[in-house]
Amino acid sequence: MITQIRVDDRLIHGQVAVVWAKELNSPLLVVANDEAAKNEVTQMTLKMAVPSGSKLLIRSVEEAIKVFKDPRGKDKRIFVIVNSVSDANRIAQAVEEIETVNVANAGRFDNSDPAEKISVFSSVQLNPTELAAAKELASLERVDSYNQVLPSNAKKDLAEALNNL
């Protein structure tokens, strides 16, 4: 089961690898990212950021969805990291067993026109495509979607934030 899909521009970094993996009690981290799945340098960098005792899979979004649908993973606690709301939404639409989606840090490094971005939270600025994906994600009643940068921060409901735009 996916314990959390985290949307974070940086994919894996100290906060994600150490704090969140421990908080979620998820020894299996899956980076679902098409570019990372093809880039050996990125893969080496991501592997260096994972603490010992944790396992890391780096897959394209489509390959990751196949992993998540495999019945052998049903009893595993899986922490998924993506770098776009669109990828989180693709996974959430395709996979039933998801506890939460945390849209934590998004839109700062996507190379889209800053004038077109909408600030949903202080750490989340979305272009029109990502904003549409966020609205679709927030409409999924079976998935709790929110913004929470650190476990010590309060959760901010994604649907509520989008309704207040």
Provide the pairing of β-strand 55-59 with 28-32: parallel
Q: Which of 159, 126, 161, 124 is nearest to 140 (CA)?
A: 159
Sign (positive or negative) of CA dihedral 88, 65, 153, 163: positive
Q: Is 13 in the active site?
A: yes
**Torsion angle of C-alpha atoms 161, 116, 90, 32, degrees rounded to 10:** -100
In whole angstroms, what is the distance from residue 71 CA to residue 73 CA? 5
From 1, 10, 13, 67, the catalytic residue: 13
Give catalytic residues, as residue numbers: 13
